[in-house]
Amino acid sequence: RIQDRLAAVGRLASAVAHEIRNPLTSIAGSAHMLVSIPALADEHRQLFRIIVRESERLNQILSEFLDYSRERQYNFTPTDLVCLLEETLTLLPNRSAAPQRGVVITTDLSVPVAPTFADGDKLRQVIWNLCDNALRAMPQGGELRVALQRDSDFWVITVADSGRGISPESIENIFEPFQSGFPGGTGLGLAIVYQIVQAHSGHIAVLSAPGQGTEFTLHLRCLDPGEIPAAAPALAAATH
Ligand SMILES: Nc1ncnc2c1ncn2[C@@H]1O[C@H](COP(=O)(O)OP(=O)(O)OP(=O)(O)O)[C@@H](O)[C@H]1O
Ligand SMILES: [Mg+2]
């Protein structure tokens, strides 16, 4: 019942987000045209620029929210976490908008291959969101450490940074949407992470204190070679 109610609230929220879009587009478009009036005093032009900038920002929040609240389609296949982590971490220095001056990225993958049953694209997003936050928490530089090891039936991935850390009050609702403490952040990164991890029947936890860095720990069930469907011969071969 609680699930049903939450789903209804979610649908309502996304309907509202949708409805706000059209008038917002008109506001932004009009303000955009007003900015270019030649006779405008500088201070007035500045005010119109603020309207343009803030409506763009609002539009971005709506897009991200709609992206968050839409039903996600999952495509589960046997996936190697070692490969997935290596790929994601290779892209990180080039693609992340977060500051990374003076950041050392270390990886400690204790096994050559780590099969699990997952939607690879969604898990890449999980790792990406965690690493992006870690970089944002270390504007002055530091260490981002990503590790993978096995603990009985689970793969345990840790993403740890030496950044500013998180206060106990913020930790309480850190996986809820729109909880942001980063400048310009929307606060959806970890809410999406949580959704995806849930869909994988996994588990995520966070350990942090202000000034002490932060460590996220992700548990995902191992896929044993015997369980690999015949449709995944490449991965099956890699694990033997
Ligand atoms: N590694 C971290 N170190 C310090 N604080 C963190 C870390 N990860 C998350 N946080 C805190 O949790 C908040 C929520 O993170 P989340 O990724 O959900 O949102 P965001 O990064 O602010 O925005 P978005 O990811 O949507 O761009 C952050 O704003 C930050 O205050
Ligand atoms: Mg984030």
Q: Model confidence over 155-174: pLDDT tens digits?
A: 999 999 999 999 999 999 99
Same domain membership, residue 203 and residue 100: yes
Instruction: Let me know if residue 239 belongs to a domain.
Output: no
CATH of the domain at 218: 3.30.565.10
* Residue 164 CB less than 6 A away from ligand 1: yes
191 Cα–ligand 2 center, Å: 9
Rounded-to-10 torsion of CA 224, 153, 218, 149: -80
Same domain membership, residue 91 and residue 153: yes
Residue 214 contacts residue 207 (beta carbons within 8 Å)? yes
pLDDT number for residue 183? 87
- d(Cα 64, Cα 188) in Å, to the nearest integer? 8
Residue 69, classified by CB atoms within 10 Å of its CB into exposed (0-12), middle (13-18) or buried (19+), is buried
* Residue 166 CB less than 6 A away from ligand 1: yes
Give the mean pLDDT of 225-234: 60
Instruction: Let me know if residue 240 belongs to a domain.
Output: no
| Model pLDDT for residues 103-147, shown as the tens digit of each residue | 999 999 999 999 999 999 999 999 999 999 999 999 999 999 999
15 Cα–ligand 2 center, Å: 24
Ligand nearest to the CA of 169: 1
Residue 4's pLDDT band (cuts 50, 70, 90): confident
Give the mean pLDDT of 56-62: 89
Instruction: Let me know if residue 234 belongs to a domain.
Output: no
Same domain membership, residue 118 and residue 207: yes
Greater confidence, 34 or 95?
34
Instruction: Let me know if residue 139 belongs to a domain.
Output: yes
Give the mean pLDDT of 83-106: 85
pLDDT number for residue 14? 83
163 Cα–ligand 1 center, Å: 12
Same domain membership, residue 143 and residue 97: yes
State which ligand 1 atom lies nearest to the alpha carbon of 64.
26
What tokens appear for 139 in the block? 């504007």
Residue with tokens 């932060």: 214
pLDDT number for residue 236? 53
What is the number of domains present in the chain? 2
Q: Of the residues 38, 69, 100, which one is the last residue of a structural domain?
A: 69
Beta bridge partners of 109: 148
Which of 92, 140, 143, 180 maximizes ligand 1 atoms within 8 Å of its Cβ, making it the mutation to test the pocket? 180
Residues counted in the chain:
240
Instruction: Let me know if residue 120 belongs to a domain.
Output: yes
* Residue 239 CB less than 6 A away from ligand 1: no
9 closest CA partner among 225, 177, 186: 177
Same domain membership, residue 129 and residue 61: no
Instruction: Let me know if residue 53 belongs to a domain.
Output: yes
State which ligand 1 atom lies nearest to the alpha carbon of 190.
18
Ligand nearest to the CA of 192: 1
| Model pLDDT for residues 72-87, shown as the tens digit of each residue | 889 999 999 999 999 9
- Residue nearest (by alpha carbon) to ligand 1 atom 1: 134
Other Cβ atoms within 10 Å of 42 Cβ, number: 7
Instruction: Let me know if residue 238 belongs to a domain.
Output: no
Give the mean pLDDT of 47-72: 88
Same domain membership, residue 161 and residue 55: no
pLDDT number for residue 1? 79
Tell me the CA distances in angstroms from 80 to 29, 91, 220, one per residue in order.
Answer: 47, 17, 12
Q: Of the residues 25, 40, 69, which one is the last residue of a structural domain?
A: 69
Q: Is a pLDDT exceeding 70 seen at residue 90?
A: yes
Same domain membership, residue 42 and residue 154: no
Same domain membership, residue 88 and residue 15: no
- d(Cα 102, Cα 180) in Å, to the nearest integer? 24
Q: Of the residues 69, 99, 128, which one is the last residue of a structural domain?
A: 69
Instruction: Let me know if residue 236 belongs to a domain.
Output: no
* Residue 195 CB less than 6 A away from ligand 1: no
Same domain membership, residue 42 and residue 128: no
| Model pLDDT for residues 188-228, shown as the tens digit of each residue | 999 999 999 999 999 999 999 999 999 999 999 999 777 76
- d(Cα 82, Cα 157) in Å, to the nearest integer? 10
Greater confidence, 16 or 3?
16
What range defines the domain where residue 191 resides? 77-229
